Amino acid sequence: MKSSLPRDLIWVLALCVAASGIGTWKARFVKGGRTDPVSATIQRIEDPASTAFTLSANAFSDFAAGIIYARSLRSQVRVLRSEADSIRLYQQQVELYKTELDDVRKEIGMPAEGGKRRVPADVIDFNPPNSLVLDIGADEDVKVHEPIVCAEGLVGRVETVGSHRCTCMLLSSPDLTIGASVLRNPPEPGLLHGESQNNLVLELTNPQAPVDVGDVVVTSGFSDMIPRGIPIGTVHQVYTDVEFGALRVSVFPYVAVGSLREVFVLQ
User: What would be the CATH architecture of the domain defined by 113-266?
Assistant: Beta Barrel (2.40)
Q: What pLDDT, on a 0 to 100 scale, did the predictor assign at position 46?
A: 46
Q: What pLDDT, on a 0 to 100 scale, did the predictor assign at position 61?
A: 55
Distant-in-sequence, close-in-space partners of 181: CB < 8 Å, separation ≥ 6: 187, 188, 189, 190, 217, 218, 219, 220, 228
Q: What pLDDT, on a 0 to 100 scale, did the predictor assign at position 89?
A: 60
Distance CA 118, CA 151 (A): 11
Q: pTM of the entire structure?
A: 0.57
Distance CA 170, CA 113 (A): 18
Query: Block means of pLDDT (10 residues each) for the chain, length 267 residues?
Result: 56 60 57 53 50 51 57 68 62 56 55 69 88 94 94 93 94 92 88 91 88 92 84 91 78 90 92
| Domain regions of the chain by residue span | 113-266
Distant-in-sequence, close-in-space partners of 8: CB < 8 Å, separation ≥ 6: none
